[in-house]
Amino acid sequence: MSAELLRLRKWPVLWVLLGIGLTLDVLFGYVFDYLSYRTGSRPVSEDAPLLAGLLPAGVPVTTVEGMPMFGGAILLILGALAAGSGYGWGTWKTVLTTAPSRLRAFTGLLGALGAVVAGLVAAMFAVNFACAFAIAAAESSSFDLPPLADLARAAGGALLMHSMWASCGVLLGIVARGPALAVGLGMVWTLAVENLLRGTGNVLAPVAAVADLLPGTAAGSLAGALGAVPFADNGTPGVLSTLDGSAAALLLSGWTVVFTLLAGLLLTRRDVM
Amino acid sequence: MTETMVSTDRLTRRYGTRVVVDAVSLTVHKGEVYGFLGPNGAGKTTTLRMILGLVRPTAGTATVAARRTGALIEGPGFFPYLSGRDNLRVLARHRALPDTAADAALDRVGLDGGAAFRTCSLGMKQRLGVAAALLGDAELLVLDEPTNGLDPGGMAAMRGLLRDLAAEGRTVLLSSHLLGEVQEICDRVGVITGGRLVAESTVAAIRGAGTLFVRAAPVDVAAAVAARFGAVTESDGGLRCDSPAPPLVQALVRAGVEVHEVRTVERSLSDVFFELTEDLA
């Protein structure tokens, strides 16, 4: 794992992606909503709940609400690049002739990506708290912290969502044996196919049954269960109320395990050219 | 008894109906430098990949007795944004070696390792690939065209390095197009063409004994005498035969022939290689 952490830590792409993730998180979580609040471009009745979401007590919900959409996409891209680029650079070949076993090399990559996911989640909470405290100070509002249980649930949910999308990216990178196709396929799936299937599910019951089990449905439902307002109720894109929290968490864990096992199976059994 | 470091038994790889490696059985002994020769597309790299476990054989087996193997296969593959030193540190950590192992490997190939891999010249990249193979005191080195892209000085340095590695008792399985290099460095060679191993022996045995070349006048009388010794007359009037020199020269002198030149012509590994690969092409 320390080998993979070393090469990820010095990879400019990692920092660019993490920077984009944090920037989007701050922009969509705080900046746009606060500007909307300050400019009064909403009905007055919505001002109080809008401000409440921007204060420290609202950090758990605000942090997870962006994860099903752009957060997932960024982690999927990271996973696909981290696993897929090694085929083009020839580094899988070098690593697999150096590491004691293919499985050790694969678990090293997973461990390093897990550390990156944990770091990103921690950074998002830290940045969001900083924004929330700044807004609370500017508006002379409450500095009350959220209950620790809510914070822990949100952090756990965030880790689960990001881990699932990162493992999906790793699988795509290994399947495609390169980053470009993997990223393309991942984006088409998360941004188009899943939404189309959910749309089709509204008119075709069998499709709805399948759509309820998709990775994006699980991630969106978990964010919804953690308090984010579903898109259908004028909330955040990607947030759903299809599954309850336990079912969504279970499904997310299941997808993470499936993606990881498939990726591991392919990497350890396929020829490396 | 000679200890075996690498052995393959009817190693075969097919892609669809195309047989890339066809029942190759080769043996590399411990402590020797083994030259693995063949034209482009002969199946060298696929065989080496199967030996290293990167490619699964369709049939047959490859057995490696070494506990620590280092390899450079089909060009060096490194993270382009990392320096050579950091690339080796990544690999050292994969083997649970300290970072200083990377420094030692760099020193061994005479590289500083400070430049980003993507900015290195082809020769530097190649040397870095060899340094990676040397990490962790490898007993067996599998090197696929390690001199690719090296300038003459780099080639000479690489040749010296390979000799040193062999002198240290390491086993080297070396694939190369540079037959002169192989002839100088290797103890034994295997020649593969069309996916089949067509020869495997010591360099001396594979080159065979030298032939005798004689130039004498008058050519027609000399040819008649030499024919009794199995000589053939070449287009330039020279005589070539496998007979020892003294009896042939004595017979020529007795027949009144003036002998102008007598020398032994040794076949180079290159000559043998082209004979073997062209016969089967």
Among the ranges A38-52, A119-133, B220-234, B255-269, which has the highest mean pLDDT value? Answer: A119-133
* Angstrom distance (rounded) from CA B181 to CA B158: 10
Contacts of A89 in chain B (CB under 8 A): 77-80
Tens-binned pLDDT, residue by residue, of chain A (273 aa): 899 999 999 999 999 999 999 999 999 999 998 998 888 767 777 778 888 889 999 999 999 998 887 888 999 999 999 999 999 999 999 999 888 889 999 999 999 999 999 999 999 999 999 999 999 999 989 899 999 999 999 999 999 999 999 999 999 999 999 999 999 999 998 888 888 888 888 888 888 888 889 999 999 999 999 988 888 887 788 888 889 999 999 999 999 999 999 999 999 999 987
pLDDT tens profile B144-157 = 988 887 888 888 88
* CB-based contact A6 B78, cutoff 8 Å: no
* CB-based contact B94 A99, cutoff 8 Å: yes
* Angstrom distance (rounded) from CA A88 to CA A97: 16
Name the H helices within A139-244: 148-176, 179-188, 194-201, 205-211, 215-225
Whether A92 and chain B come into contact, CB under 8 Å, resolves to yes
Higher pLDDT, residue B187 or B177: B187
Q: What is the pLDDT of residue B86?
A: 96
Which domain covers residue A108, as residue numbers?
2-269
Q: What is the pLDDT of residue A251?
A: 96
Angle between helices A215-225 and A148-176 (to 10 degrees): 170
* Angstrom distance (rounded) from CA B106 to CA B100: 10
Select from B69, B73, B79 the Cβ nearest to the Cβ of A91.
B79
* Angstrom distance (rounded) from CA B191 to CA B275: 11
Q: What is the pLDDT of residue A17?
A: 95
Do the Cβ atoms of B183 and B269 come closer than 8 Å?
A: yes
Contacts of B53 in chain A (CB under 8 A): 96-97
* Angstrom distance (rounded) from CA B270 to CA B184: 12
Burial class (CB in 10 A: 0-12, 13-18, 19+), A44: exposed
Q: Which of A25, A227, A259, A234 is nearest to A123 (CA)?
A: A25
At A199 the three-state DSSP class reads helix
Whether A107 and chain B come into contact, CB under 8 Å, resolves to no
HSE-up (13 A, CA, CB side) for residue A135: 27
Q: What ipTM was estimated for this complex?
A: 0.89
CATH number for B4-206 (one of 3.30.70.360, 3.60.15.10, 1.10.150.120, 3.40.50.300): it is: 3.40.50.300
Q: What is the pLDDT of residue B279?
A: 59
DSSP character at residue A30: I
Residues 138-157 of chain B whose Cβ lies under 8 A from any Cβ of chain A: none
* CB-based contact A95 B91, cutoff 8 Å: yes
Q: What is the pLDDT of residue B281?
A: 52
User: What is the b/e burial string over A217-237, where b = at least 16 CB atoms within 10 angstroms of the residue's CB?
Assistant: bbbbbbbbbbbbbbbeeebbe
Domain total in chain A: 1
Whether A41 and chain B come into contact, CB under 8 Å, resolves to no
Contacts of A271 in chain B (CB under 8 A): 49, 54-56
Q: Chain A closest CA to B208's CA: distance in Å?
A: 37
Select from A12, A104, A272 the Cβ nearest to the Cβ of B54.
A272
Select from A7, A104, A108 the Cβ nearest to the Cβ of B79.
A7
Give the 3-state DSSP-derived string for chain B, with helices as H, strands as E and coil as C: CCCEEEEEEEEEEEECCEEEEEEECCEEECCCEEEEECCCCCCHHHHHHHHHCCCCCCEEEEEECCCCEEEECCCCCCCCCCEHHHHHHHHHHHCCCCCHHHHHHHHHHCCCCCCEHHHCCHHHHHHHHHHHHHCCCCCEEEEECCCCCCCHHHHHHHHHHHHHHHHCCCEEEEECCCHHHHHHHCCEEEEEECCEEEEEEEHHHHHCCCEEEEEEECHHHHHHHHHCCCCEECCCCCEEECCCHHHHHHHHHHCCCEEEEEEEECCCHHHHHHHHHHHHC
* Angstrom distance (rounded) from CA A243 to CA B212: 90
Q: Amino acid identity, residue A112?
A: A
Q: Does position B280 have pLDDT exceeding 70, yes or no?
A: no
Q: Mention every residue, 6+ apart, whose C-beta is less than 8 A from residue B165.
A: B134, B141, B172
Whether A206 and chain B come into contact, CB under 8 Å, resolves to no
Higher pLDDT, residue B269 or B215: B215
Contacts of B79 in chain A (CB under 8 A): 7, 11, 89, 91
Q: What is the pLDDT of residue A217?
A: 92
Select from B78, B80, B94 the Cβ nearest to the Cβ of A105.
B94
Residues written for chain B: 281
Strands B211-217, B258-265: pairing kind: antiparallel
* CB-based contact B54 A2, cutoff 8 Å: no
Contacts of A104 in chain B (CB under 8 A): 94
Q: What is the pLDDT of residue B173?
A: 95
Whether A93 and chain B come into contact, CB under 8 Å, resolves to yes
Cα distances (Å, whole numbers) of residue A54 to A70, A129, A144, A230, B99: 19, 9, 12, 17, 46
Q: Does position B80 have pLDDT exceeding 80, yes or no?
A: yes
For the CA atoms of chain A, what is the radius of gyration? 20
Higher pLDDT, residue A198 or B23: B23
* Angstrom distance (rounded) from CA B33 to CA B173: 6
DSSP character at residue A67: I
* Angstrom distance (rounded) from CA B252 to CA B236: 18
At A190 the three-state DSSP class reads helix
